[in-house]
Amino acid sequence: MVARRFVNLFIDPNPNCPEGCSQRFQATSEPRSVRRIRYSPGDGTTLECEVVGWSSAGGGASCPAFSVRVEDSGAGVATLLYGGDWGLRLVPRDGRPPFGEPYLLVDDEAILE
């Protein structure tokens, strides 16, 4: 019997993600590092962004970001992007200001590097 693996996200409200979140996902692959993605904010545009995990260390510092395939009740399987205890920090390559997300569920095609 294969043990199920889970990714537990507990993001306390913080300056990067004021709303925080608590989620649990069942992983179907091994995590891998991720550094650059295509991000769709929901307004019909797509931004190319550098992505890092965001940690509470020192009041906000970068740490590795990871992707892992997870079961998703709506899509079957999706790719979860997650980072530090303060979520993810995205830096658009077009010069827009950086912003935070607690985590992202994306298609594999959104991961560029």
Write the pLDDT tens digit of every residue in 33-67: 999 999 998 888 899 999 999 999 999 999 999 99
Tens digit of pLDDT for each residue in 59-101? 999 999 999 999 877 668 889 999 999 999 999 999 999 999 9
Is 104 a domain residue? Answer: yes
Question: Is the residue at 62 inside a domain?
Answer: yes
Q: Is residue 15 domain-resident?
A: no
**Contact predicate 66/79, CB 8 Å:** no
101: in domain: yes
Q: How far apart are CA 55 and CA 11, in angstroms?
A: 10
Task: Return the half-sphere exposure (C-beta side, CA atoms, 13 A cut-off) of residue 21.
Answer: 18
Q: Helix count (H) and strand count (E) of the chain?
A: 0, 11
Residue 80: inside a domain: yes
pLDDT of residue 2: 60
Assigned domain for 90 exists: yes
User: Would you say residue 14 lies in a domain?
Assistant: no
The answer, yes or no, to whether residue 6 has pLDDT greater than 80, is yes
Say which residues have a Cβ less than 8 Å from residue 98's Cβ, sequence separation at least 6.
89, 90, 91, 92
**How many domains would you assign to the chain?**
1
CB 101 within 8 A of CB 88: yes
Residue 43 in domain: yes
Residue 1 has pLDDT above 60, yes or no: no
Residue 42 belongs to domain spanning? 5-9+20-110
Tell me the mean pLDDT in the region 15-23: 94
Looking at residue 44, its pLDDT comes to 87
